[in-house]
Structure formats: structure tokens, C-alpha cells
Amino acid sequence: MKLSTAELRRLERQGFLILPDLFSEAEADALAARLPALFADGHPGNIVERASGAVRTAMGLHLRDDLYARLVRDPRLIAPARQIRPEPLYVQQVKVNVKAAFSGEVWQWHYDFATHHAEDGVPRPLALNLHVFLDDVTDVNGPLYFIPGSHAYGSHETRLDTETTSYPLWVVDEPLVRDLADAHGIVAATGGKGTVLVFVDTLVHGSPVNMSPWDRAIFSLIVNPVSNAYRETNRPDHKHHRDLTPIEPLTDGGRLGTRAA
């Protein structure tokens, strides 16, 4: 898997890429089938919604499940990441974010580097977020909203919001979101299961509540250059992994679920 020159330019311009059909529906279904057991295992990386008690995010999955251990080394994710950041990369965070049908709550407007810098001491906004859609993501079941081009402004002023949801988040306040959106618009990142989404660390994004009767689960792998690693260890390992071993992609050629990890 190699990104084209046009795709690299689009990433540079808008801060994100939507890459349909990199994973098959069968692979996405195999990954989704692991989630009920993981959500029920009592792991501290499972964070639930305040109102419904449904899992909102499940972290550290590559250390808990062999199929997710394969996924974090899949060349369809690691090759583009190495192309964008051509230096040794480590696994910073692995999770599935869920918007349960009817009850999936908001993710406020934010950009990831604010958390990586404030909580973990990451020096520069070089991390990449690599998503795989495990469900069809539509306009109505809680897609990510991006403000294209907002990454180009670098770091914005943020504040730690511990009240809105069960997950503390460094958020961007509404006046700045309005200014950015007026200038650049808002895009909903939608696509069929198996779609890959790549975005950079200063892209302003969020997601609405899921009022629909359809679940929405998205896998997220965050990779970061080893040279740009955390300087603080305030958060538990499942929120920012401490192992700085560079990622090596799988070389066995197996599709997900066809071989043991």
C-alpha cells in the first residue's frame, strides 16, 4: 500500500484522507466480532458512557486480542504511515471508539496534539491517526466531523473538559470552531466498513451523538515518531503506550483472521 502523490498533497492541504475499501467487509466483521468479549472483560481501558453505561472507547486492544495485535502491524496502515513520517514509529495508542445506537454520546471539538502535549509531554504534533471503519459510517450514525485545513494553523488554545462526557478531553471552544468552520467548512468523514481514514495531530475534529438505530465502531491506531515520544507518564499505559519499539509491518501476507498472531 503506497499513497499517490495526489493523496499526499491532499493530506497536506486538508489534513485528512479517506481511503475506501482498503480492508474487506469480512475483515471488518471479524474485528467487530471480537468487541463484545473485549467490552465485557473488565479491563480498565474500557470507558463507558455516563448515561447509558455502553462502552464509549476500548483501549489497548493489541495487548488484549491477537487479531488487533495483527491489525496494528498491517502494511495497509503502517506503509502509508512510514511514507508520511519516514522514521521509526511506535504504537502510541490503540482503541476502538464506539457510538452505540441511540445512546452514543458526543466527542467535543478538539485536536489530538493538545492532549498528547498536555498529558504526555509529546513535543511536536507529528503523530498520525489511522482509522479503520468496522461499521458503515453514515451521515446519521455519529461520523467524525473535520474542519479541512484547520491543521495548518498549528496549536490552538484549549481547555480540559471533565464535565461533558466520561472521558476528559482538551477541547477547542466554540468561538474558535465557528471562525475555523466559517473559513473552511465542515466535512463528515463517511464510508463503508473497511474504509481507512488518516489524519494529522492538529486537525480540529469532533463527532455528534448517535441518535440512529445503527451502531458505529471505528478502530484507531495512533503512531508517533520515536524521536518525538512522550516525556511524561501521567496517564496509564493503555492511554499512551510506553513501549518505544519501532513498528515492523507483517510480512506473512495473510489477510486478517487467516493466520494466528
Q: For 182-225, give the DSSP string.
A: HHH--EEE-B-TT-EEEEETT--EEE--B-SSS-EEEEEEEEEE
Question: Would you state the pLDDT for residue 257?
Answer: 56
Question: Would you state the pLDDT for residue 208?
Answer: 96
pTM to 2 decimals?
A: 0.94
Question: Would you state the pLDDT for residue 252?
Answer: 83
What's the pLDDT tens digit per position in 125-170? 999 999 999 999 999 999 999 999 999 998 889 999 999 999 999 9
* Long-range Cβ pairs for the range 159-163 (8 Å, 24+): 160/118, 161/108
Cβ-based neighbour number of residue 101 at 10 Å: 15
Cβ partners under 8 Å of residue 109, min gap 6 = 171, 172, 174, 177, 204, 205, 206
Question: Would you state the pLDDT for residue 256?
Answer: 79
User: pLDDT tens track of the chain, all 261 residues?
Assistant: 799 999 999 999 999 999 999 999 999 999 999 999 999 999 999 999 998 999 999 999 999 999 999 999 999 999 999 999 999 999 999 999 999 999 999 999 999 999 999 999 999 999 999 999 999 999 999 999 999 999 999 888 999 999 999 999 999 999 999 999 999 999 999 999 999 999 999 999 999 999 999 999 999 999 999 999 999 999 999 999 999 999 999 988 667 754 433
Task: Go through the domains of the chain in sequence order and give each one's CATH number.
Answer: 5-41+54-228 (2.60.120.620)
Question: Would you state the pLDDT for residue 140?
Answer: 97
71/132 Cα distance (integer angstroms): 10
